[in-house]
Amino acid sequence: MQKITIAIDGYSSCGKSTLAKALAFRLGYKYIDTGAMYRAVTLYALRHNLIDDAGIINHEELLKALPEIEIHFKLNPETHISDVILNEEDVEREIRTMKVSGLVSKVSAIKEVREKMVVLQRNMGKRKGVIMDGRDIGTHVFPKAELKLFMTADPEVRAKRRQDEYSSKGQYFSLEEVKHSLMQRDHEDINRKESPLIKAEDAIVLDNSELSREEQLDYVLKLISDLQFISREEQSHH
């Protein structure tokens, strides 16, 4: 079966990474969580005092530090999922905090940061057989991806999912706090100048407000199967 590139875009807390991981496991593909890469840059900036208490980023110093920021993924033998490695340190847990979540949109809006991450992402996806999720994968990183999905869900559903995710990691926030954080993030993602969150024209919208994980996985596996069938049909006619 010929391997393809799968681009999954959409709003935060729509289950993009959950779906991407499940697909990668079923297909034997490589999963790249591009949002985690921006989170790693945000964590680096926080650790090096490049973001002050008011959330103001020291752009000049962050741009100077960019060449020193190395990010890659390493398979975790316990979870069977790729963890984010920042300068040889596994930072998977640290990048998922509310503090990083609240600042990552500002960091990812910086042109030079996006340029560096896009180069890394394209290199990771060169050999096909890759699933990437993020905000601009189908529109900017891999505009020629064979399958593009745009995920969305009801804001209440998304807030509850994110709240549950925080709780499972021992971080407790009210539903209102989480919802406010999500809405703010959406606003920043949609309105930023560099590669804003928009649906690619040829992306398939997947609203999973009322779908179980198994239902959405089955739906996308069928899309892939149909795509590969069409591809085989086209080849047989040439």
Q: What is the pLDDT of residues 133-166, one digit of tens each?
A: 988 899 999 999 999 999 999 999 999 988 998 8
- Domain CATH for 111: 3.40.50.300
The structure's pTM equals: 0.82
User: Residue 1 above 70 pLDDT?
Assistant: no
Q: Which residue from 183, 96, 92, 192 is spatially nearest to 135, judged by alpha carbons?
A: 192
User: Residue 216 above 70 pLDDT?
Assistant: yes
More confident residue, 3 or 50: 50
Rounded to whole angstroms, the Cα distance separating 46 from 185 reads 18
Q: How many domains does the chain have?
A: 1
User: Residue 189 above 80 pLDDT?
Assistant: yes
User: Residue 229 above 90 pLDDT?
Assistant: no
pLDDT at site 233: 62
Rounded to whole angstroms, the Cα distance separating 158 from 226 reads 29
**Confidence grade of residue 52 (pLDDT, cut at 50, 70, 90):** very high
**pLDDT tens-digit series, residues 59-106:** 999 999 999 999 998 888 887 778 999 999 999 999 999 899 999 989
**Confidence grade of residue 195 (pLDDT, cut at 50, 70, 90):** confident
132 is in which domain, residue-wise? 5-237
Assigned token pair, 149: 């999905």
More confident residue, 54 or 192: 54
- R_g of the chain, CA atoms, integer Å: 18
* Angle at alpha carbon of residue 114, lines to 50 and 66, rounded to 5°: 45
pLDDT at site 95: 96
Q: Which residue from 79, 102, 103, 105 is spatially nearest to 92, judged by alpha carbons?
A: 79
pLDDT at site 126: 86
User: Residue 236 above 80 pLDDT?
Assistant: no
pLDDT at site 237: 61
Assigned token pair, 37: 């890469």
**pLDDT tens-digit series, residues 9-51:** 999 889 898 999 999 989 989 889 898 999 999 999 999 999 9
pLDDT at site 61: 97
